[in-house]
Structure 1
Amino acid sequence: MRSALIVYGGWEGHDPEECAALYRRWLHEDGFSVRVENSTKAFADPAIHDLSLIVPIYTMSRIEKDEVENLTKAVENGVGLAGHHGGMSDAFRDAVEYQFMVGGQWVAHPGNIIDFTVDVTRPDDPIMAGIKTPMAYRSEQYYMHVDPSNEVLATTTFSGEHAWWIKDVVMPVVWKRHHGKGRVFHSTLGHSVKEFSEFPDMATIVRRGINWAARDEQAP
Structure 2
Amino acid sequence: MRTAMIVWGGWAGHDPDLCASMIRGWLKREGFEVRVETKTEVFLDPAIKDYSLIIPIYTMAKIEKPEAAALCEAVKGGVGLAGHHGGMGDAFREAVDYQFMCGGQWVAHPGNIIDYKVDVTRPDDPIMAGIESFEHRSEQYYMHVDPANEVLATTTFTGEHAPWIDGVVMPVVWKKRFGQGRVFYSALGHRAYELDVPEIRTLMTRGFLWAAR
TM-score by length of 1: 0.96
Structure 2 match to 1:202: 200
Q: Alpha-carbon deviation of 1:207?
A: 0.6
Q: Which runs of 4+ in 1 moved over 3 A?
A: none
Q: Secondary structure at the match of 1:132?
A: coil
Counterpart CA distance in 2 for 1:124 and 1:96 is 32
Rounded to whole Å, the distance in 2 between the matches of 1:203 and 1:159 is: 26
Aligned to 1:191: 190
| Structure 1, unaligned runs of 5 or more | 216-220
Cα distance in 2 between the residues matched to 1:120 and 1:44: 37
**Where in structure 2 are there 5+ consecutive unaligned residues?**
none
**SS of corresponding position for 2:192:** coil
Q: Which residue of 1 aligns with 2:141?
A: 142
Distance 2:146 2:174 in 1: 10
1:65 equivalent to 2:31? Answer no
Amino acid at match of 1:185: F
Matched, 1:121 2:121: yes
Q: Which residue of 2 aligns with 1:171?
A: 170
Task: Please list, as runs of the form range in 1=range in 2, the aligned pairs for 1:61-140 lying within 5 A after superposition.
Answer: 61-133=61-133, 135-140=134-139
Distance 1:132 1:71 in 2: 34
Q: TM-score, normalised by structure 2?
A: 0.99
The CA deviation at 1:44 is 1.2
Q: Secondary structure at the match of 1:31?
A: coil
SS in 1 for 2:171: strand
**Hey, what's the Cα distance between the residues in 2 that align with 1:43 and 1:159?**
40
Instruction: Give the partner amino acid of 2:201.
Output: A
